[in-house]
Amino acid sequence: MTAKSATRAPGAGTVRGARFGAQPSDLMDAINVSIDVDKRLHGEDIAASKAHCAMLVRQGIISEADGDAILGGLDTIAKEIAEGRFSFHRSLEDIHMNVESRLAELVGDAAGRLHTARSRNDQVATDLRLWLRQTLDDMDAALAGLQEVLIDKAEAHAGTVMPGFTHLQAAQPVTLGHHLLAYVEMFGRDRGRAADCRRRLNQCPLGAAALAGTSFPIDRRMTAEALGFDGPCANSLDAVSDRDFAMEFLGLAAVLAVHLSRLAEEIVLWCSDAFGFARLSDAFTTGSSIMPQKRNPDAAELVRAKTGRVIGALTTVLVAMKGLPLAYAKDMQEDKEPVFDAADTLALCIAVITGMVQDIAFATERMKAAAGEGYATATDLADWLVRVLAMPFREAHHVTGRLVRLAEQKGCGLEDLSLEEMGAVEAGITADVFDVLGVENSVKSRTSFGGTAPDTVRAAVAEARRRFVD
Ligand code: ARG
């Protein structure tokens, strides 16, 4: 714990003002001070202060001279921070007081007028909304990049046959391109949720002041517009107490993290010796300190594990908020750490998954061979019985089951049964049944919309490019 007397900065005591005689205890500082976390909001805090200042001048609430001094001072502070010359002081609690205190040093009395008709409550809500808006935009761009890489791979592997799984058991052959496009859809929905969140958060709390609004003739529309918001928050109590945007962000972040984790898990499985479907580049593989033969997919495993942090962040904020009466309570200060951590974690994980997908090499022959294992074309056989022999599907399912059992007893594939053996089970079966028993023919036949046939996948690739990339 820092010895407060030694680190107390000029301008200290601004937050407490004249109301207090003694300084807070070290323990009070330890639990209360947020500058180490919220200094990250400096850009947003200064932008919001500039918008507020310009509005105060325009409304005649402060003089033009004071306004100019304040705006100049804020620019200086932005520069000092950008150049690493700004000293943040724990004694000034948070980013808002650090900026205001430095402003007082730079421009004197005029600085004290900036806080007219506002409060840290509407300041912090505004800053965090601005920060999240930018973060959502960055996340959208990163996800679009990931989708593009997946779409490129899907196009290259539109005709690559692999087993499609249910219950992690080979179910029906699919194409790898089709499989990869499934993730393009998932990330597309993540982008949709991010866009929804962005739309709803884009209202400006500034001017709600502490909770009740203000007696000064402010223009909240002006500040909202200057900061790129669609308009001011309609209710001042809601404006300072609402953290839906943080919860929504973390909600969509948690779903996105789950999607990344599922893809990471598939990469781990595919690269295992047992599957042997893929190989990660050296760039995304680690070795073992004891087993020289190992190529470990640590990056994929870490993406999978980091999902826990993001889900944890959502839980943290939901629980922090759930018992809060209107309007502001200091509990809300605890929103920033999880929001920042989830955003950082996701930015890293999206970049890592993008890199891995770009570099991964697929063992297409091995995938195709695996696609034929486990009687994966049994449904094709049943469909053939329905189509050619006009059998009801339930009966075809039964006949196919008997043929699978026969093949199992003989230890061979369905396509290895002779026509005589098949005829003994179902007399109507003819030699052209063998056409549907190969995996290539199986996938080729699945031309229904959204299906796995190579040509259908090529069309889906073009459509995905149009929807998500172009
Ligand atoms: N650092 C505070 C936060 O992040 C700013 C708002 C403080 N407001 C107050 N009434 N103490 O929530």
* pLDDT at site 8: 41
pLDDT at 5 over 70: no
pLDDT of residue 359: 93
Whether residue 137 has pLDDT greater than 80:
yes
- Taking 3-state DSSP, the helix, strand and coil percentages for the chain, each rounded to the nearest 5, stand at 70, 5, 25
Digit-coded pLDDT (tens) for 331-372: 999 999 999 999 999 999 999 999 999 999 999 999 999 998
pLDDT tens figures, 76-105: 999 999 999 999 999 999 999 999 999 999
Mean pLDDT of 213-222: 98
Mean pLDDT for all residues in the chain: 94
What separation in Å is there between the alpha carbon of 124 and the centre of ligand 1? 7
Who has greater pLDDT, 71 or 374? 71
The answer to whether 206 touches 224, Cβ cutoff 8 Å, is yes
Residue nearest to atom 11 of ligand 1 (CA): 330
pLDDT of residue 174: 98
pLDDT of the residue at 295:
82
pLDDT at 210: 97
Would you say residue 12 has pLDDT above 60?
Answer: no
**Would you call 157 a catalytic residue per the annotation?**
no
Name the residue with higher pLDDT: 327 or 287. 327
Rounded distance from Cα 399 to ligand 1 centre (Å)? 71
Active site residue 288: yes
Testing ligand 1's pocket by substitution, the residue of 124, 242, 317 carrying the most ligand atoms inside 8 A of its CB is: 124
Q: How do residues 367-386 score in pLDDT, each as one tens digit?
A: 999 998 889 889 999 999 99
Each as own residue / partner, the long-range contacts of residues 361-366 (CB below 8 Å, 24 or more positions apart, any chain) are: 361/278, 361/279, 361/281, 362/157, 362/160, 362/176, 362/270, 362/277, 362/278, 363/276, 363/277, 363/278, 363/279, 364/157, 364/160, 364/176, 366/276, 366/277
The arithmetic mean of pLDDT across residues 158-169, rounded, is: 96
- What is the pTM assigned to this prediction? 0.93
Percentage of the chain modeled with pLDDT above 70: 97
pLDDT band per the 50, 70, 90 thresholds, residue 22: confident
Section 113-132 average pLDDT? 98
| Per-residue pLDDT at 293 | 79
